[in-house]
Structure 1
Amino acid sequence: MNTETPALKEVRINRVYLKLWLTTFFWGGTFVAARFAVKEAPPFFAASCRFLIAALLLVPMAAWQARSAGTSFPLPRSPRQFLGLFSLGLTGVFLYNAVFFTGLKFTTASNGALIVAINPLLTAVLSALWLREKVRPTQAAGLLLSLVGVTLVIARGSLDVILQHSFNRGDLIMLGAPLCWALYSILGKKVLARFTPLAATAYAAFFGAVLLVPAAVVEHAAHGGPLPQFSWMGWLAILQLALLGTVVGFVWWYQGVHLIGTARAAAFVNLVPVFGTLLAALLLSERLIAAQIWGGCLVVLGVYWGSRQPRGSHQAPVSGRSEEEL
Structure 2
Amino acid sequence: MSRTGRDPHPVIACGEVRTCLLPTRDALDERAAVKLLRLRPDERVRVSRHPNRYVVSPEVLTGVDCPLPTDTGARVRAVGTVGSHASLVEGRVIQATASFSLPAVGTDRRQAWSYYLVRPGSLVPVGQVPQRALVRGFLLGHRPGRLDVGSIAESVLARISRQDRILDHDPPLTAAGTRLRWTAVRTAAGEEPSSLFTKGEDGLRTLELSLPSGLPPTAAVGLCEELALHDWLLTTVADKLDGLPTGAADDRAVLRVLRPLVDHLLHLWMPRARVDRVLRTVWNQLEETPGYSRQWTAHAQRIRDQLALRAIHLRDEVPGRR
* Interval of TM-score (by shorter of Structure 1 and Structure 2): under 0.3
Q: Which has the higher contact order (CA 8 A, sep 6+)?
A: 1
Report the TM-score, using the length of structure 2 for normalisation. Answer: 0.27
Q: Which structure has more strand as a fraction of its residues?
A: 2
Q: Which structure has more helix as a fraction of its residues?
A: 1
